[in-house]
Amino acid sequence: MTDLSVRTWRDAHAEILRRIRARAWAPGDLIPKEVDLAAEMGVTRSTMNRALRELAAAGVVERRRKGGTRVAEAPVRKATLDIPVIRREVEAGGRAYGYTLLHREATPPPADIRARLALTGAAAVLHLIAVHLADGRPFVEEERWINPAGAAGALDVDFTAISANEWLIAHTPFSRGDIAFGAASASPDVAARLAIEVCEPLFVIERTTWGDEAAITFVRLSYPGGYRMRTTL
Amino acid sequence: MTDLSVRTWRDAHAEILRRIRARAWAPGDLIPKEVDLAAEMGVTRSTMNRALRELAAAGVVERRRKGGTRVAEAPVRKATLDIPVIRREVEAGGRAYGYTLLHREATPPPADIRARLALTGAAAVLHLIAVHLADGRPFVEEERWINPAGAAGALDVDFTAISANEWLIAHTPFSRGDIAFGAASASPDVAARLAIEVCEPLFVIERTTWGDEAAITFVRLSYPGGYRMRTTL
DNA sequence: CAGTGGTCTAGACCACCAG
DNA sequence: TGGTGGTCTAGACCACTGC
């Protein structure tokens, strides 16, 4: 018998998840349509729709108009990562935040950076290298290119007092971005900046952000090997 | 004047995002309440609620009952990562998938694994080491511990034909999990399994999954340094 | 073409929490 | 304690897509 305590979309969500876990509906199976489930559990279709929509967003079911709703075959679990401002990340750990700009130069970009920023001409971009500190010790190294065509005013900013990330957040909101996570070995330069040994492993985050028309910035963050980025499933 | 083409929650969502980007509402600002925004844009509160809820989920605004809705100060951007089954990940790249089990042993777990699986006794767990292949070449090394108390039947399975991941997906759905991403150096063992040099950088994913009561499994996936996990913001 | 999910409306009650 | 967001209901129209 159906649990009569189903009153909210969370209840319905939980009940459907329970059935899927209990194999009442196996992976690949078509499950009843919204209207039927709603009727069975005693809620309106709107409520059931909300429950199923959330399950679809979590990758548990797949939905198609006319095709119905089916249990995901390969549960491509979706993990949501928070991408915090580094200052907050450090301060959230109870440590004092610091920031040192090591290099600042407007220069024509190398070919790979031109490609990442989708630049055609040879106009100069702003190249920054900085280290973020936690309790005075290197936390992460940042190498960044800023496209003046996408970030108006950046060339006039001295980034010694404010990190490029925070300046960009405040002045140049982005509309989309891509991000990649990987590992690399510390080059001599990066090793020196992070005060680690050459060839130690680095956790690397590469991010490109775009405005409505042009690329705004490309940044590579290199964390020493002990760093972990965590979330839940 | 308000754009009269606002008809759907996506329109409202886009319009609000536009205003935030245009600094009509600055970070930290309180924005009008649902009812007012709905009236202004000519939609119902339900529709506006959906738009604002999605913005909150994306980390663009923060909402509180009675406190209203305000533009997020530090846009803690949320990135959604797909955690695919490795077979699918390889096949999605157009390569042939392969899998080799290198080690299988039921053994009392070392202390760190006991801690990760929240085990109290010294009951044996199943320890597996395997390599996943793409076009016959090592793609990722997998070291896994399976808690028989959380994954009934695992001790009876020979994991040479089916990878533990796929068996678990099919037989032991999990209710929650935690996942961490980081970097490490290849130990001699791992380097040999992946056919890379000792001390080359590895991209490491560590994942623990839990059933309703007990931990099911802990797995460490080690990808060679060139690997990138990508998503969009 | 017809069935299913996607969305909107108009109204209502309620939970939470800032003042 | 009152204002704000969270959610439910009942009904409707429509877009997509499998058959």
Do B222 and B194 touch, CB atoms closer than 8 A? Answer: yes
Tell me: the pLDDT tens digits for B96-134? Answer: 999 999 999 999 999 999 999 998 877 899 999 999 999
**Portion of chain B with pLDDT greater than 90, in percent:** 64
DSSP A175-204: SEEEEEEEEEEPPHHHHHHHT--TT-EEEE
Whether the CB of A34 is less than 7 Å away from nucleic strand C comes out as: yes
Three-class SS of chain B: CCCCCCCCHHHHHHHHHHHHHCCCCCCCCEECCHHHHHHHHCCCHHHHHHHHHHHHHCCCEEEECCCEEEECCCCCEEEEEEECCHHHHHHHCCCCEEEEEEEEEEECCCHHHHHHCCCCCCCCEEEEEEEEEECCEEEEEEEEEECCCCCCCHHHCCCCCCCHHHHHHHHCCCCEEEEEEEEEECCHHHHHHHCCCCCCEEEEEEEEEECCCCEEEEEEEEEECCCEEEEEC
Q: Which of B178, B184, B231 sits opposite A233 (nearest CB)?
A: B178
A19 CA from D9 C1′ (Å): 26
pLDDT score for B175: 79
Three-class SS of B86-125: HHHHHHHCCCCEEEEEEEEEEECCCHHHHHHCCCCCCCCE
Q: Which residues of A touch B18 (CB under 8 A)?
A: none
- Among A97-111, A164-178, B61-75, B152-166, which stretch is predicted with the lowest mean pLDDT? A164-178
B16 CA from D9 C1′ (Å): 28
CA distance B181 to chain A (A): 5
**Please, which positions of strand C sit below 7 A from a protein CB?**
2-12, 15-18
Whether the CB of A40 is less than 7 Å away from nucleic strand C comes out as: no
Dist. CA B191–CA B222, nearest whole Å = 10
Residue A211 DSSP label: -
Closest CA to B219 of B103, B74, B116, B94: B116
**Portion of chain B with pLDDT greater than 70, in percent:** 97
Is the pLDDT at B1 greater than 50, yes or no?
no
Structure-block tokens of residue B153: 């039947």
Closest CA to A186 of A147, A225, A160, A218: A225
Q: Which of B81, B170, B201 sits opposite A81 (nearest CB)?
A: B81
Residue at shortest CA–C1' distance from D17:
A66
Averaged pLDDT, B132-158 = 93
pLDDT score for A4: 54
Tell me: the pLDDT tens digits for B177-229? Answer: 899 999 999 999 999 999 999 889 999 999 999 988 889 999 999 999 889 99
Q: Which of B85, B173, B200 sits opposite A21 (nearest CB)?
A: B173
Comparing A78 with B145, the larger pLDDT belongs to B145
Specify the residue for token string 């979330």: A231
Q: Which residues of A touch B175 (CB under 8 A)?
A: 21
Is the pLDDT at B2 greater than 50, yes or no?
no
User: Torsions phi, psi of B137, nearest 5?
Assistant: -105, 150
- pLDDT 10s digit of each residue in chain A, 233 long? 444 576 899 999 999 999 998 889 988 899 999 999 999 999 999 999 999 999 999 889 999 999 999 998 876 677 778 777 898 889 888 899 999 999 999 999 999 999 999 988 778 999 999 999 999 999 999 999 999 998 888 899 999 988 998 888 878 878 788 999 999 999 999 999 999 998 899 999 999 999 888 899 999 999 998 899 988 87
CA distance B172 to chain A (A): 8
pLDDT score for B192: 95
B205 DSSP β-pair partners? B181, B221
Q: Which residues of B touch A85 (CB under 8 A)?
A: 74, 76
Top residue of B171, B179, B223 to mutate, by most chain A CBs within 10 Å, is B179
Averaged pLDDT, B35-52 = 96
* CA-based nearest residue in chain B for residue A59: B82
pLDDT score for B76: 66
Q: Which of A59, A170, A176 sits opposite B233 (nearest CB)?
A: A176
Top residue of A71, A210, A231 to mutate, by most chain B CBs within 10 Å, is A231
Confidence of residue B4 (pLDDT cuts 50, 70, 90): low
pLDDT score for B83: 80
pLDDT score for A1: 44
Q: Which residues touch strand D (CB under 7 A)?
A: A 7-11, 42-47, 50, 64-67; B 33-35, 45-46, 49, 52-53, 56, 63-69
